[in-house]
Chains A and B, each alone.
Chain A
Amino acid sequence: MSTALAEASVRRRTVNPFWYKLKKNPLALLGAGILAVILLLSLAAPLLSSYDPTKINIIERFAPPSAKHWFGTDEVGRDIFTRILYGARLSLGVGAAVVLTAGCIGTVIGAISGYVGGRVDQLIMRVMDMVLAFPSLVLAMAVAATLGPNLLNAMLAIAIVKIPVYVRLARAETLAVREKLFVQAAVTFGIPGWRIIGTHILPNVVSPVIIQVSLDIGDAVLAVATLGFLGLGAQPPTPEWGAMISVGWKYFLDYWWYPAFPGLFLFLASCGFNLIGDGVRDILDPKAAR
């Protein structure tokens, strides 16, 4: 009994330093707050709004913001507030999914490239350099346009553009970890390379990758919206922020609320991710000044 108590008190005393530092960073907390609000709103969308995000109601088209339609309605009478909430699910989910996919694939490729070295490394890195040489938006547009304009292809396009960043990051980190004695020791045991990559290299290169992921999600949300805006991403009537702005800006002078509210939410979400990303980087980066 007494030992259990002692153990519990020890456990309570060891505060996770990550959360402790995060609490001391007001901007990161603000970012987290913004995102938490958007996330909750999007999850509670069916409770907060009784409208269907895709149901057309011509009679109420272009209704200005009011108690009935908080953010007004669009050109076919859909409630913009509702569409923004459902759009948040899409934008946040897609952004996170894209970056996580790119992060996982890129990290594995980078670890293999760095560990194996030699010609394999040269080949992989030159291909990555080629991808990086293009402006990322242009490349994403080209890929999305080639594959056909829909949301899945837009996600794929953004993921492909993001992969080289993770490959480089993971490779650089792998080159350092590979020289560590515990990797050399594993080699002397006769453990195959793929297993060394899995058990020693990957776990020791993930922290910078996590920082990069947290920095990139905001970027990816923006990129998804950009492709949507250009008509290469989600297609109507999907309630996607970029696509909403794309249609709405044509009506901006007469019905300002149509593009303004989706734009505002896109701005807030992007800000939130970037603030969190900066905070996480400050906390996890050992080189950053305390």
Chain B
Amino acid sequence: MKPLIELKGVHKYYGKGKQRIAAVRDVTFQIEAGETFGLIGESGSGKSTLGKMLIGLEPPSEGEVRYAEKALWKGQSFHRPRPGEIQIVFQDPQSSLDPRMRVKEIILEPLRALPRLERLEKGGEERLHALIRRVGLKEEHLSRYPHEFSGGQRQRIAIARALITDPAFVILDEPTSALDVSVQAQVLNLLKELKQERNLTYLFISHNMSVIRYMCERMAVMCKGEVVETGTADEIFRTPSHPYTQTLLASLPSIFRDKRVEANV
């Protein structure tokens, strides 16, 4: 099976000359269709930069970024597959929703980039209502403004906005790290269910090991711009090979540590 996403030798530099900083160094991995791929690393490790490359906000300095076998970037210009095919949910739901727009306008906004017929079809009242109910909100919320909602509810709005275009691939850029722990679990479960129902592929970016473990089938560990380890989540959690991964795992409360690893210690 061909991978949906392919990154090959991707670099990203900021600045020039002596001040040049490599935010991402020689990153290579693939994401298969239908899986949840986790990307973990501390702040500044370049994981969000990779997300931005896939969504068209940051061009890579070197290397290839492919989606469904087509290059997303040619030089500095982004070649969007089909509007709405790739969507993103940002970390901070406080700033990702325009405070001056009603929820309905916010959710329907991505459709504005679509051709008229498709926009009318996907933006239909019934479809919108089904979607808003599916993410756990109510129809009457559609006419309200974002400031009237809690963080978890706002993130649900952001998720609805990402799904309105029927995307194939969704980038989740730390979608729960700004939320309370109890709300985190609800949102994560919602994302899991939506993935099953809609046959989505996720890139799940996070700095939280337990969240990654809960969500992802395969994962990559990033450290200082480099991918230090790639593999199935099970493998990495059971037998971390890179010292950085081991440190990350050691930082978790013991309840999350795999029993077999503990038996070996």
Residues of chain A at the chain B interface (Cβ within 8 Å): 180-182, 184-191, 195, 199-200, 203-204
Contact = CB atoms under 8 A, between A and B. Distances in A.
A195 B57 CA distance: 17
A4 to B, nearest CB: 16
Contacts of B165: 189
Size band of the B side of the interface?
A: 20 to 34
A185 B113 contact: no
B95 A191 contact: no
Contacts of A184: 57, 90, 96
Given A187-B56, A188-B87, A189-B83, A182 B112 contact: no
B100 A189 contact: no
Interface string B194-230: 0000000000000000000000000000000000000
Contacts, number: 51
Which of B55, B57, B98, B113: most chain A CB closer than 10 A? B98
Given A191-B109, A200-B98, A203-B100, A181 B84 contact: no
A180 B87 contact: no
B44 interface: no
Given A184-B57, A188-B57, A189-B84, A204 B109 contact: no
Contacts of A189: 83-84, 109-110, 112-113, 165
Contacts of A203: 98, 100
B92 interface: yes
Contact of A181 (B80, B86, B90): B90
B57 A187 contact: yes
Nearest to A180: B95
Contact of B112 (A181, A191, A204): A191
Nearest to A203: B100
Contact of A185 (B80, B88, B100): B88
Interface in B110-132: 110, 112-113
Contacts of B95: 180-182
